[in-house]
Structure 1
Amino acid sequence: MEKQRKKKLLMAMSTLSAFGVMAQGNGAAGINEATQMVTSYFDPATQLIYAIGAVVGLIGGVKVYNKFSSGDPDTSKTAASWFGACIFLIVSATILRSFFL
């Protein structure tokens, strides 16, 4: 019984000392590195969102043109929805960029 209690005490002490060793690191450097990594992805992500907005706008323009050419009375609703989607993509990318950077 005594041997088992010493074994548990030794295991607890080694665990606590391991936590102390891990806590010795510089946390600010890790946070700064993570922040730099996240912000380095923001410019490519913003450009990707702008490109998606351009493609959605082109597809929407073709769709609206086809509806207008065929005389569909629902053309203005379709144009407004596609235009709104493009504006949302552009504004959301700009707001996220200004909010996080």
Structure 2
Amino acid sequence: MEMKLIDRFGKRLLVCTALTAVSLMMTVCVYAQDGKAGIQEANTKVRGYFDVGCDLMYAVGAILGLIGAIRVYQKWSNGHPDTGSTAAAWFGSCVFLVIVATVLRSFFGI
């Protein structure tokens, strides 16, 4: 009696495992798409989020720019000799932020 129960359980387990594997393979086939469609979808999504991303980048840049300006002012007020290099680095990072947004905008053709 016990062997029949174990054999039935083993057969059911085997059938369930096979059905699960087939179901998983079918869903993988359903979600698959060609490379061109995937690239087009990614391109569309990036274009959709680009303006929001630029605004976020400018907001973070403005906050970091204010912090950098305060650091430069503190060094200048305290008479540190390397104030010029700190100011140049701060200004360069602000210019870089604007240039990156422009280059990315032209790269994606937005």
Give the TM-score, by structure 2 length: 0.61
In the other structure, the counterpart of 1:34 is 42
Tell me the number of residue pairs that the alignment of Structure 1 and Structure 2 aligns.
80
In the other structure, the counterpart of 2:20 is none
**Gap regions ≥5 residues in structure 1:** 1-17
* Residues 46 and 97 in structure 1, CA contact (< 8 A), matched pair in contact too: no
How many angstroms does 1:33 deviate by? Answer: 3.3
Deviating above 2 A after TM superposition, structure 1's stretches of 4 or more consecutive aligned residues are: 25-35
Query: % of aligned pairs identical?
Result: 54
CA RMSD between the two structures: 2.3
How many angstroms does 1:70 deviate by? Answer: 0.6
* Residues 53 and 90 in structure 1, CA contact (< 8 A), matched pair in contact too: no
1:62 matched to 2:70: yes
How many angstroms does 1:28 deviate by? Answer: 5.9
- CA deviations on 1:64-85 (whole Å, 9 max, x unpaired) are 0000111111111100011101
How many angstroms does 1:87 deviate by? Answer: 0.8
* Higher RCO (C-alpha 8 Å, min separation 6): 1
In the other structure, the counterpart of 2:6 is none
Equivalent residues in 2 for 1:4-15 (5 A)? none
Cα distance in 1 for residues equivalent to 2:50 and 2:104: 9
User: Structure 2 counterpart of 1:34, which letter?
Assistant: A
Give the TM-score, by structure 1 length: 0.66
In the other structure, the counterpart of 1:99 is 107
